[in-house]
Structure 1
Amino acid sequence: MAARLSAEGVRNVALTWVDNAGITRVKTIPAERLAAAAERGIGMSPVFDVFTSDDAITASEHLGGPDGDLRLFPDLERVTSLAAQPGWAWAPADRYDQLGLPHPACQRQFARRMTERAAAAGLELRMGFETEWVVTRAPAGHPAPGRADEPLDYPCTGPAYGMTRVVELSDYLRDVTEALSVQGIDVLQIHPEYAPGQFEVTTAPGDPVRAADDVVLVRETVRAVSVRHGLRASFAPSVVAGEVGNGCHLHTGLYRDGTSLHRSPDAAWGLAPEATAFLGGVLDALPALLAIGCPSPASYLRLQPSHWAGVYQCWGVENREAALRLITGAPDDPDGGHAEIKTFDAAANPYLAVGAVIAAGLHGIESAAQLPPPQTGDPGALGVRERARRGIVRLPATLTEAADRLEKSAPLHEAMGEVLHGAVLAVRRAEEAHFAESEDDAIAAATRWRW
Structure 2
Amino acid sequence: MASRPAEQRVEARQLAAHLDAEGVRNIAVTWIDNAGIARVKAVPTARIGNAAERGIGMSPVFDVFTSDDAITESPHLGGPDGDLRLFPVLDRVTALAAQPGWAWAPADRYDQLGTPHPACQRDFARRMAARAAAAGIGLRMGFETEWVVARTPEGGGPHPTDPHTPLDYPCAGPAYGMTRIVELSDYLRDITEALTVQGIEVLQLHPEYSPGQFEVSTAAADPVRAADDVVLVRETLRAVSARHGLRASFAPSVVAGQVGNGCHLHLSLHRDGHSLHRTPDAALGLAPDAAAFLGGILAALPALLAIGCPSPASYLRLQPSQWAGVYQCWGVENREAALRLITGAPDDPDGGNAEIKTFDAAANPYLAVGAVIAAGLHGIETGTPLPDPVSGDPGALGVRERSRRGIVRLPATLTDATDHLEKSAALRDAMGEVLHGAVLAVRRAEEAQFAGSEADEIAAATRWRW
Q: Which TM-score band (shorter chain)?
A: over 0.9
Match of 1:367 among 382, 385, 410: 382
Q: Secondary structure at the match of 1:191?
A: strand
What is the CA-CA distance between 1:334 and the residue it aligns to? 4.1
Equivalence for 1:406: 421
Conserved in 2, the CA contact under 8 Å of 1:85 and 1:224? yes
Task: Work out the CA distance in 1 between the residues paired with 2:41 and 2:164.
Answer: 34
Task: Work out the CA distance in 2 between the residues paired with 1:132 and 1:24.
Answer: 17
Q: Deviations over 1:159-186 (max 9, x none)?
A: 0000000000000000000000000001
Conserved in 2, the CA contact under 8 Å of 1:145 and 1:446? no
What is the CA-CA distance between 1:332 and the residue it aligns to? 2.7
Equivalence for 2:60: 46
Equivalence for 1:386: 401
Q: Secondary structure at the match of 1:322?
A: coil
5 Å-filtered alignment, 1:330-341, equals: 330-341=345-356
What is the CA-CA distance between 1:144 and the residue it aligns to? 6.5
1:60 and 2:61 correspond: no
Task: Work out the CA distance in 2 between the residues paired with 1:191 and 1:364.
Answer: 35
Task: Work out the CA distance in 1 between the residues paired with 2:333 and 2:402.
Answer: 19
Match of 2:364 among 346, 349, 362: 349
Amino acid at match of 1:220: E
Conserved in 1, the CA contact under 8 Å of 2:278 and 2:349? no
1:252 and 2:282 correspond: no
Equivalence for 1:272: 287
Task: Work out the CA distance in 1 between the residues paired with 2:372 and 2:387.
Answer: 19
**Runs of 4+, deviation exceeding 6 Å:** none
Q: Secondary structure at the match of 1:369?
A: coil
Task: Work out the CA distance in 2 between the residues paired with 1:352 and 1:287.
Answer: 15
Equivalence for 1:229: 244
Task: Work out the CA distance in 2 between the residues paired with 1:109 and 1:286.
Answer: 22
Match of 1:437 among 438, 448, 452: 452
What is the CA-CA distance between 1:143 and the residue it aligns to? 4.3
Match of 2:225 among 207, 210, 228: 210
Q: Deviations over 1:93-127 (max 9, x none)?
A: 00000010000000000000000000001110000
Task: Work out the CA distance in 2 between the residues paired with 1:343 and 1:60.
Answer: 27
Match of 1:291 among 296, 306, 312: 306
Equivalence for 1:71: 85
Match of 1:153 among 168, 187, 191: 168
Task: Work out the CA distance in 1 between the residues paired with 2:90 and 2:450.
Answer: 39
Task: Work out the CA distance in 2 between the residues paired with 1:164 and 1:323.
Answer: 31
Q: Percent identity?
A: 83
What is the CA-CA distance between 1:437 and the residue it aligns to? 1.2
Conserved in 2, the CA contact under 8 Å of 1:242 and 1:301? yes
Q: Deviations over 1:11-34 (max 9, x none)?
A: 000000000000000000000000
Task: Work out the CA distance in 2 between the residues paired with 1:9 and 1:195.
Answer: 39
5 Å-filtered alignment, 1:101-250, equals: 101-141=115-155, 142-143=157-158, 145-250=160-265
What is the CA-CA distance between 1:146 and the residue it aligns to? 2.9
Q: Secondary structure at the match of 2:435?
A: helix
Amino acid at match of 2:277: H
Q: Deviations over 1:396-421 (max 9, x none)?
A: 00000000000000000000000000
Distance 1:254 1:448, change over 3 A: same
1:3 and 2:17 correspond: yes
What is the CA-CA distance between 1:279 and the residue it aligns to? 0.2
Equivalence for 1:321: 336
Q: Deviations over 1:192-233 (max 9, x none)?
A: 000000000000111000000000000000000000000000
Conserved in 2, the CA contact under 8 Å of 1:278 and 1:361? yes
Q: Secondary structure at the match of 1:172?
A: helix
Task: Work out the CA distance in 2 between the residues paired with 1:18 and 1:173.
Answer: 26
Q: Deviations over 1:20-53 (max 9, x none)?
A: 0000000000000001100100000000000000
Pick which of 32-41 and 331-340 moved more. Answer: 331-340
Task: Work out the CA distance in 2 between the residues paired with 1:87 and 1:161.
Answer: 35
Task: Work out the CA distance in 2 between the residues paired with 1:336 and 1:270.
Answer: 11
Q: Secondary structure at the match of 2:40?
A: strand
Q: Secondary structure at the match of 1:313?
A: coil
1:358 and 2:373 correspond: yes
1:311 and 2:322 correspond: no
Amino acid at match of 1:185: I
1:23 and 2:37 correspond: yes
Q: Secondary structure at the match of 1:233?
A: strand
Unaligned runs of 5+ in 1: none
Q: Secondary structure at the match of 1:247?
A: coil
Task: Work out the CA distance in 1 between the residues paired with 2:224 and 2:97.
Answer: 22
- TM-score when normalising by structure 1: 0.99
Task: Work out the CA distance in 2 between the residues paired with 1:195 and 1:336.
Answer: 29
What is the CA-CA distance between 1:265 and the residue it aligns to? 1.9
Q: Secondary structure at the match of 2:452?
A: coil
Q: CA RMSD in A?
A: 0.7
What is the CA-CA distance between 1:79 and the residue it aligns to? 0.4
Q: Deviations over 1:414-434 (max 9, x none)?
A: 000000000000000000000
Unaligned runs of 5+ in 2: 1-14
Q: Secondary structure at the match of 1:300?
A: helix
Conserved in 2, the CA contact under 8 Å of 1:42 and 1:73? yes
Task: Work out the CA distance in 1 between the residues paired with 2:263 and 2:350.
Answer: 19
- TM-score when normalising by structure 2: 0.96
1:36 and 2:36 correspond: no
Amino acid at match of 2:148: V
Amino acid at match of 2:118: P
What is the CA-CA distance between 1:330 and the residue it aligns to? 1.0
Amino acid at match of 1:245: G
